[in-house]
């Protein structure tokens, strides 16, 4: 073989080796890029699965709380006028009147011979209504500042129960024997009709008016 042919062959071999090397380099880059994309995709999948697990845990917790506490009603669902009236005879009258406003305020009055009650704001959690009492009311315009709570219960039929024992049997005079065992610790107030609510709102001042009138007369203690 001629010397020139050998040189050409060597050059060709060198070029082939270089081509293989360059090709291998680019193939290696492609494999590296593919591996990086695979790792990135695996991380995204793992993050998505973790988020789903977290969401499931949160949802399960919500469902657990709902099961334990019952679903809370909105103010608009329970707002309105609730009353209980009982005539024991011989001028012995027991009266409860609760108005829950849609804006979260309430007016509560319970009376035998003289009216007494509370005004403030309320919260609903499950089947429990918490009255946050700001002022105590009486039979006159005066108000007494306070900071107390009253718990009420929403019954399945939509009525509201009060088990706070505001009154006892001893407060009634000449009570008939058949009422001697009356349970004053389980007062059930039933919701009145829309027309009765409208009459109440028309005849009774708002919570703010009650406070303003008392303040104007320096009757807040």
Q: Tell me: the pLDDT tens digits for 148-180?
A: 999 999 999 999 999 887 776 666 676 667 666
Q: Give, in order, the Cα–Cα distances in Å from 105 to each of 59, 79, 98, 202, 215.
A: 32, 10, 11, 17, 19
pLDDT by residue (tens digit) across 173-215? 766 676 667 777 788 999 999 999 999 999 989 999 999 999 9
Question: What global pTM score does this model have?
Answer: 0.64
Where do we find the tokens 């001028």? Answer: 91
Q: Please, which pLDDT band fits residue 66 given cuts at 50, 70 and 90?
A: very low
Q: 109 near 184, Cβ under 8 Å?
A: no
Q: 89 near 180, Cβ under 8 Å?
A: no
The confidence score (pLDDT) of residue 53 equals: 66
How far out from the chain centre does Cα 126 lie?
Answer: 8
């Amino acid at each position: 073989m001629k010397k020139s042919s050998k040189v050409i062959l060597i050059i060709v071999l060198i070029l082939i080796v270089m081509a293989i090397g360059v090709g291998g380099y680019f193939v290696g880059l492609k494999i590296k890029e593919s591996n990086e994309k695979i790792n990135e995709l695996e991380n995204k999948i793992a993050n998505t699965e973790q988020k789903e697990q977290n969401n499931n845990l949160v949802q399960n917790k919500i469902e657990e709380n709902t099961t334990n506490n019952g679903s809370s009603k909105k103010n608009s669902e329970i707002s309105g006028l609730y009353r209980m009236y009982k005539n024991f005879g011989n001028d012995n009258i027991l009266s409860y009147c609760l108005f829950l406003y849609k804006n979260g305020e309430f007016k509560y009055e319970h009376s035998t011979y003289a009216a007494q009650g509370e005004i403030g704001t309320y919260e609903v959690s499950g089947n429990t209504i918490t009255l946050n009492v700001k002022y105590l009311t009486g039979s006159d315009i005066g108000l007494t500042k306070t900071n107390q709570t009253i718990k009420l219960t929403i019954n399945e039929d939509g009525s509201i129960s009060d088990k706070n024992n505001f009154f006892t049997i001893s407060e009634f005079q000449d009570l008939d024997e058949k009422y001697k065992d009356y349970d004053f610790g389980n007062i059930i107030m039933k919701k009145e009709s829309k027309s009765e609510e409208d009459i109440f709102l028309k005849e009774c001042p708002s919570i703010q008016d009650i406070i303003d009138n008392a303040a104007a007369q320096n009757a807040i203690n």
